[in-house]
Chain A
Amino acid sequence: MNAQVENWVAIGPLSEIPRQGSRRVLWGQIKIAVFRMSDDRVYALEDKCPHKNGPLSEGIVHEGCVTCPLHNWVISLETGAAQGADEGQTRTFPVRVEDDTVLIAF
């Protein structure tokens, strides 16, 4: 799992993402949803539900997952995989926090 690309980009301070919430980052044409958990852990996923491309950044965040606002699919924030009986996976991006700044590797 050696990442070939180490293109870490700062996207802003952690405090700008609400806890149990999300903000969107635009990388060219790609929309990325950056989530912040109650304990400040962060995750970054393409802002696209594998079901019908619903914006995951708009979903309710709970227990390491987000529920898509369109049809209630539940997506794991860590792996991007749909939970339960649904099948599909959303692309994830490496993300980390350094000195209160959130960085994403594209």
Chain B
Amino acid sequence: METQKQKLVIIGNGMAPGRMLEHLFDLTDAYEVTIFNAEPRVNYDRIMLSPVLSGDKSYADIIIHGQGWYDEHGITLHKGEKVVEIDRVERRVISDKGTVEHYDKLVIATGSQPFIIPVPGKDLPGVLAYRDLDDTEAMVAAAKKGGKAVVIGGGLLGLEAAAGLRLRGMDVTVLHLMPSLMERQLDEASGYLLQRALEARGIDVKCRANTKAILGADKVEGVELEDGTVLEADLVVMAVGIRPNSGLAKEAGIEVNRGIVTDATMRTSDHAIYALGECAEVDGRVYGLVAPLYEMAKVAAHALAGEETSGFKHSETPTKLKVTGCDLYSVGDFAEGEGREDIVLRDAQRGSYKRVILKDNKIIGAVLYGDVADGGWFNEMLRAATDVSDMRDTLIFGQAHQGGGSFDPVAAAAALPDDAEICGCNGICKGQIVQSITDKGLTALSEVRAHTKASASCGTCANNVENLLKAVLGDAFEKKAEGMCGCTPLGHGEVRRLIKARELKSIPEVMQELEWSSPEGCAKCRPALNYYLVSDWPGEYEDDYRSRFINERVHANIQKDGTYSVVPRIWGGKTSAAELRAIADIAEKYDVPEVKFTGGQRIDLLGIKKEDLPGIWADLNEHGMVSGGAYTKGLRTVKTCVGQEWCRFGTQDSMGLGIKLEKFLWGSWTPAKLKLAVTGCPRNCAEATCKDIGIICVDSGYQIVYGGAAGLHIQGTTELGIVATEEEVIEITAALTQLYREEGFYLERIYKWADRVGYNRIKTIVLEDKEARRELHDRFVFSQKFAQVDPWAERVAGKDAHEFKPMAEFKLEAAE
């Protein structure tokens, strides 16, 4: 019963059609197969290109189907021939070399093509993509000459390319547009760990790097970024993403969306034509990892053989990075959302991070870095939709901790021998801790820390100490909220100290190293961390826009109706007719509903619409006025009286000194707002004795006072000392402000800080110890270099422009 074989033509010779043919030949011999391959070679394993690049493997090692396999199955393979037309009416395809093949069934497996960013210089010799063996070989050849490589794209492919080139001896820089690496597969915390690991092997990583142009005359010489940075480069690899190759199908009139649209059996809108691999789109999704592509291959083979198939179903595919020493595993959905819970385990010492995302007691995603041993186990439960309620307390510790009695961290702490070391930094054993808890009646972590020093250094054992407290006190233990927020048991003081001690320089870094229990922090800790980093690393840390309150983001004060108030700086409260006229004109021009004097002698324009802010600022700038900082956790105002210039009692130039101080201090970030006053005599018209810092002019010089409060809490200032000259006033004020900046907790006013650390101590440091005073002053001056930028002028010039206008506006007809 020999029947005429049907003709099956396949466009593309990648891994997906290769796998499909293996299945097909197992099921049937009904087809005579012809393959067009634009590449001049047989089917090889593209996943293994990274080992070829790094030198671990050769092309021969990664061939999947050798020529013999094609011969054995009677396949006609047109190597190096690209199909240029599908003629659906005549059911034939035509190649660029003029070959014409008729088909009964056609399979399109054209894969994808790298996305090339449309920047000048993208076509220069030396600019490569990373898709196939030709690219890989070109990279290997370039690396032989050594020099510098720039890889654009910090995703899977980009990082593998970077690691390979580095192993081949090139100086490698990775540019990534997003704030953290592999942001599609990793959250910020694991992205940070990955970045650190890559940097440790000598790869320079630049995030938020936007490529502007590739430079060079007749070959690549460098890369220019949007911010003006120029990097030298002998080789540029673009690995910013892929696009399904669907042009051929589209021209033939087959339905194409992002990819070639197929049903669950991989059949396109033309029922004689199938599509699979990276070019296919099933149920709205396109794929780039091999597991789903192999699944498509299996389904398509069954469909072609006329066998029953349950069809292609989406399933989560884990991501792994093939870079030795960078162990990461990511699967499923790790977005935040309603009803989702995160379980996070961070081990700073081992540089590991584990996060499992649950919804309705089922795992929906997992991100692991460092210790990835349990990735498969989590994925298995994800696929099986296992209910994990019984083991959720111990889930994150992994499979080894399940079964045979659940893992209870408190019980585990109780079971430790007395000589088990709990705090490695201070060498404190369990016995000592338990003894002080019982002997001294301790009930809180902070007390244990004060009495034993356990967890007082690096703080990573805090959880263990707390478990011991629970074990000893049982139900009597009540966790006290002593951390800066629910995301960490560490208080502000410890966090500040550890940021300095361990040189932590970004928010994700702090969260990882200090073992935050939430992936992104909260509205309490993020602004605090942002302040600590700005204050501790001037010039190095760039403030995180997303972690600031709206007032400090748009540089105006939000009001109860959502409008803003605008307060221009009026130095020392001294204005002029011209300045007042300008403000009046601007108030009229923008129809400002209310104009008022503030408690700090400034003019407040109230009721400004957000979209009018840049305009009003531009006008104020034009008349020489900058932001009054009325919204900042920083210098607000220096209030003055007229002083000896006019007043018959005045003793010094209080107005002049106030202006000097305001010009010196403006722009600095402090833990909370900072208000000053300079008053010309002890009659105190400028009310200096209830300010954060006050200067009272007297005949013999200047009395400096600080730590006043006149808000919810009322407290008079404390004297710091009397000095003879304005220069000393300025130096001491800077030193005091700087000490407060370095030690204060976020939102802690200067009086609270001083109450906490002691007025005598402060006096010793900023008044008596002249060397310490000078150093603090110098650090303040240094940080001001980066802080004294008028935020209004920056925004008038276009910074954060998106803040001030709606993204879209739809005007509705008044009909309804």
Inter-chain contact A26/B338, CB cutoff 8 Å: no
With an 8 A cutoff between CB atoms, is B562 at the interface?
yes
Question: Provided the pairs A18-B546, A27-B812 are in contact, do residues A63 and B807 lie with their beta carbons within 8 angstroms?
Answer: no
Inter-chain contact B258/A76, CB cutoff 8 Å: no
Question: Provided the pairs A19-B546, A38-B183 are in contact, do residues A74 and B523 lie with their beta carbons within 8 angstroms?
Answer: yes
Inter-chain contact A37/B336, CB cutoff 8 Å: yes
Q: What 0/1 pattern do residues 64 to 106 of A give for CB contact below 8 A with B?
A: 1101011010101111010000000000000000010000000
From residue 324 to 339 of chain B, which have CB atoms closer than 8 A to chain A? 334-339
Question: Provided the pairs A59-B550, A60-B523, A78-B337 are in contact, do residues A12 and B808 lie with their beta carbons within 8 angstroms?
Answer: yes
CB distance from A84 to the nearest CB of B (A): 11
From residue 549 to 589 of chain B, which have CB atoms closer than 8 A to chain A? 549-551, 553-554, 558, 560-562
B549 / chain A contacts, CB cutoff of 8 Å: 60, 69
Chain A CB within 10 Å, residue with most, of B184, B547, B550: B550
Inter-chain contact A78/B338, CB cutoff 8 Å: yes
Inter-chain contact A24/B560, CB cutoff 8 Å: no
| Nearest opposing residue in chain B for A79, CB measure | B338
* Assembled-state Cα–Cα distance A21/B179 (Å): 14
CB distance from A58 to the nearest CB of B (A): 4
With an 8 A cutoff between CB atoms, is B417 at the interface?
no
A77 / chain B contacts, CB cutoff of 8 Å: 337-338
Question: Provided the pairs A16-B802, A19-B179, A25-B806 are in contact, do residues A63 and B335 lie with their beta carbons within 8 angstroms?
Answer: no
From residue 150 to 196 of chain B, which have CB atoms closer than 8 A to chain A? 178-179, 183-184, 187-188
Inter-chain contact B183/A60, CB cutoff 8 Å: no
* Assembled-state Cα–Cα distance A18/B554 (Å): 14
Q: What 0/1 pattern do residues 1 to 34 of A give for CB contact below 8 A with B?
A: 0000000010110001111110111111100001
* Assembled-state Cα–Cα distance A71/B700 (Å): 48
The number of A-B residue pairs with CB atoms under 8 Å apart is 111
A26 / chain B contacts, CB cutoff of 8 Å: 806, 808-810
Q: Which of B266-274, B490-498, B513-521 contacts A (4 or more CB under 8 A)?
A: B513-521
* Assembled-state Cα–Cα distance A23/B803 (Å): 7
Q: What 0/1 pattern do residues 50 to 64 of A give for CB contact below 8 A with B?
A: 001111001111111
Inter-chain contact B526/A38, CB cutoff 8 Å: no
CB distance from B786 to the nearest CB of A (A): 22
Inter-chain contact B807/A25, CB cutoff 8 Å: yes
Inter-chain contact B258/A99, CB cutoff 8 Å: yes
Question: Provided the pairs A41-B335, A62-B523, A64-B340 are in contact, do residues A34 and B807 lie with their beta carbons within 8 angstroms?
Answer: yes
* Assembled-state Cα–Cα distance A9/B550 (Å): 28
Chain B CB within 10 Å, residue with most, of A9, A78, A81: A78
With an 8 A cutoff between CB atoms, is B811 at the interface?
yes
CB distance from A99 to the nearest CB of B (A): 7
Chain A CB within 10 Å, residue with most, of B337, B519, B522, B553: B337
| Nearest opposing residue in chain B for A49, CB measure | B562
Chain B CB within 10 Å, residue with most, of A34, A38, A65, A74: A38
B807 / chain A contacts, CB cutoff of 8 Å: 11-12, 16-17, 23-25, 34
CB distance from B285 to the nearest CB of A (A): 12
* Assembled-state Cα–Cα distance A18/B208 (Å): 12
B397 / chain A contacts, CB cutoff of 8 Å: none
Question: Provided the pairs A26-B808, A64-B337, A72-B523 are in contact, do residues A18 and B560 lie with their beta carbons within 8 angstroms?
Answer: no
* Assembled-state Cα–Cα distance A12/B808 (Å): 7
Contact of B810 among A19, A27, A55 (CB under 8 A): A27
With an 8 A cutoff between CB atoms, is B527 at the interface?
yes
CB distance from A48 to the nearest CB of B (A): 9
* Assembled-state Cα–Cα distance A19/B336 (Å): 13
Inter-chain contact A9/B258, CB cutoff 8 Å: no
Inter-chain contact A39/B562, CB cutoff 8 Å: no
Inter-chain contact A28/B811, CB cutoff 8 Å: yes
* Assembled-state Cα–Cα distance A18/B179 (Å): 11
A41 / chain B contacts, CB cutoff of 8 Å: 335-337
Inter-chain contact B336/A64, CB cutoff 8 Å: yes
A55 / chain B contacts, CB cutoff of 8 Å: 558, 562
A24 / chain B contacts, CB cutoff of 8 Å: 806-807
CB distance from B603 to the nearest CB of A (A): 24
| Nearest opposing residue in chain B for A10, CB measure | B808
Inter-chain contact B802/A18, CB cutoff 8 Å: yes
With an 8 A cutoff between CB atoms, is B25 at the interface?
no
A19 / chain B contacts, CB cutoff of 8 Å: 178-179, 546
With an 8 A cutoff between CB atoms, is B377 at the interface?
no
B545 / chain A contacts, CB cutoff of 8 Å: 18, 21
| Nearest opposing residue in chain A for B800, CB measure | A18
Inter-chain contact A9/B802, CB cutoff 8 Å: no
A69 / chain B contacts, CB cutoff of 8 Å: 549-551, 558
A38 / chain B contacts, CB cutoff of 8 Å: 183, 187-188, 520
| Nearest opposing residue in chain B for A69, CB measure | B550
Inter-chain contact B546/A20, CB cutoff 8 Å: yes
CB distance from B185 to the nearest CB of A (A): 10
* Assembled-state Cα–Cα distance A58/B807 (Å): 14
CB distance from A9 to the nearest CB of B (A): 7
Inter-chain contact B546/A21, CB cutoff 8 Å: yes
Chain B CB within 10 Å, residue with most, of A9, A12, A61: A61
| 6 sample A-B contacts, Cβ–Cβ < 8 Å, listed by A number | A17-B807, A24-B807, A34-B807, A58-B550, A60-B526, A62-B523
Please report A residues at the B interface, Cβ cutoff 8 Å.
Answer: 9, 11-12, 16-21, 23-29, 34, 37-39, 41, 52-55, 58-65, 67, 69-70, 72, 74, 76-79, 81, 99
Please report B residues at the A interface, Cβ cutoff 8 Å.
Answer: 178-179, 183-184, 187-188, 258, 334-340, 342, 518-523, 526-527, 545-551, 553-554, 558, 560-562, 802, 806-812
Task: Return the 6 tightest CB-CB contacts between A and B, nearest first.
Answer: A64-B336, A78-B338, A28-B812, A23-B807, A67-B523, A58-B550
- 7 new A-B contacts at CB < 8 Å, known A27-B812, A38-B183: A11-B807, A26-B808, A26-B809, A38-B188, A58-B562, A63-B522, A69-B558
